[in-house]
Amino acid sequence: MQELIQQLQELPDNDVLLGDSISEKYHHDWSADAPGIPGAVVRPSSTQALSETLKLCHASDQQVAVQGGLTGLTGGGIPKAGEIAINLERLNGIEELDVDAMTMTVKAGTPLQTIQEAADDAGFIFPLDLGARGTCNIGGNISTNAGGNQVLRFGMTRALVLGLEAVMADGTVITSMNKMLKNNAGYDLKHLFIGTEGTLGIVSRAVLRLFPKSASRCTALLALNNFKDVVTLLHKLTSEFSGMLSAYEVMWESYFHFITDNVDTIDSPYDTRYPIYVLTELEGGDPEKDADLFMNTLSAAMEDGLVADALIANSEKDREGFWKIRDGVGEISEFIRDTANFDISVPISSMQPFLEQVEKEVIAEVPNAKTLIWGHIADSNLHFICYTGSHDDVKAMYDIVYKVVGDFSGSVSAEHGIGVQKTGYLHHSRTSEEIALMQNLKGALDPKGILNSGRVIPKAL
């Protein structure tokens, strides 16, 4: 490795960290997986330097771990023994904002929040939004096909990327910096790199879609009596708000009251406890009309008995207070450790029986298990945590829940990806033929297996 490192150090636009200069931040992501110390951290600041880095690694059969902002939750960016890390933080910046085309061209290491703020300054929005916005990079968002809070209206990251540039395992640069919504000239190659978690190439630049800002936003925190009403209300709001429903976040009592009872800075705005809560938003173009529509629709839902109680945000402070409860998930680790954390999806029609089956099977194996449940229900995405307080129970809970996900034709990852954590569970959501095709693609594009090896797909036999 010594000779390779010397060659990497000599490349223009490159920076190589070694030994004690590799700070702890390069050892881990936000998952609970064990950290790993890379043999070196290579930080190119141009596509050319990234390409030369990969050419050298390829020639020396050197395996690499790809790193963005390291906020991933499935261990994909954590270096394994013998790997060097390629970190994109210096390949950073906005290259162009095209007002007429409503696009922004960015380098992969640009933090999501920087992109959001630049869009805002120009009178647009870039609608991808997640709690890690200040630290995660757009390259990480693209390679994980991140979801977040506005998928209901704008889709996942895949829907927000018009073009991209990626560097293949052997250093070949694929430049597909398309700016057009329509382009059917052959294979749409960008999809090889979106959501493939750095296993087929390293994203170096991207063209992103921007959208006009909404003129109005109405927010409510609703209390409901059961999940059936949650689904009926979702359909009602989707049809009444015709394209303007922008959030529909559901929090079961277990999650809602865990947060409001335990986190000092977050209180329940309700005096009574309800079985389930919905945080919903409408975003539109006419403040007065939209507010009337929002109020009238929710009043009718209350009269119909669909909504048990409702609080409307009258100020940005109210809105922030409601979202604090939803975003309180970040505080849970202060109170409980050794948790099994799930980011799964199942069809909405199966959600209630799925949760009942999970509870039945988990309790049968791990009798004192508790569950906290919330989710982006309109996206079929459930997040939940199972815990007993003992590390010894964690694996059993993962095994049981992922099996039940498979039984209900769901996905073991709705948005966080597979990383290293879920490779052993992929077969619950993908057929053996699908996995074999993924392995064939990996073999064709990275025959030496140097890029993020051992992530996402189990190795071919």
Strands of 276-284's sheet in order across:
309-312, 216-224, 276-284, 245-252, 370-376, 381-387, 339-345
66 lies in the binding site for ligand FAD (CB under 6 A): yes
144 lies in the binding site for ligand FAD (CB under 6 A): yes
197 lies in the binding site for ligand FAD (CB under 6 A): yes
Helix (H, G, I), strand (E, B) or coil at 301: helix
Instruction: Name which position in 62, 71, 297, 411 contacts ligand FAD (CB under 6 A).
Output: 71
Which structure tokens are listed for 111?
């933090």
What mask of x and - would describe binding to ligand FAD in positions 316 to 355, judged by CB under 6 A? --------------x-------------------------
449 lies in the binding site for ligand FAD (CB under 6 A): no
Instruction: For residue 100, give the amino acid letter.
Output: D
In the complex, what is the shortest distance from the CB of residue 458 to ligand FAD, in angstroms, rounded to a whole number?
Answer: 16
The nearer residue to ligand FAD, 51 or 144, going by C-beta atoms, is 144
Strands of 173-176's sheet in order across:
94-98, 103-107, 202-209, 161-167, 173-176
Q: Are 142 and 194 in contact (CB under 8 A)?
A: yes
195 lies in the binding site for ligand FAD (CB under 6 A): no
The nearer residue to ligand FAD, 66 or 161, going by C-beta atoms, is 66
Distance CA 112, CA 133 (A): 5
Neighbour-count burial for 160-182, b at 16+ CB within 10 Å, e otherwise: bbbbbbbbbbbbebeebebeeee
In the complex, what is the shortest distance from the CB of residue 353 to ligand FAD, in angstroms, rounded to a whole number?
Answer: 25
Helix (H, G, I), strand (E, B) or coil at 41: strand
198 lies in the binding site for ligand FAD (CB under 6 A): yes
202 lies in the binding site for ligand FAD (CB under 6 A): yes
30 lies in the binding site for ligand FAD (CB under 6 A): yes
171 lies in the binding site for ligand FAD (CB under 6 A): no
What mask of x and - would describe binding to ligand FAD in positions 365 to 394, judged by CB under 6 A? ------------------------------
Distance CA 241, CA 390 (A): 45
Instruction: Name which position in 148, 195, 375, 410 contacts ligand FAD (CB under 6 A).
Output: 148
Q: Which residues, including other chains, have CB under 8 Å from residue 396's CB and lie 6 or more apart?
A: 365, 366
The footprint of ligand FAD (CB under 6 A) covers 29-30, 66-73, 76-77, 88, 108, 130-132, 136-137, 139-141, 143-144, 146-148, 197-198, 202-203, 330, 415-416, 419, 452, 455
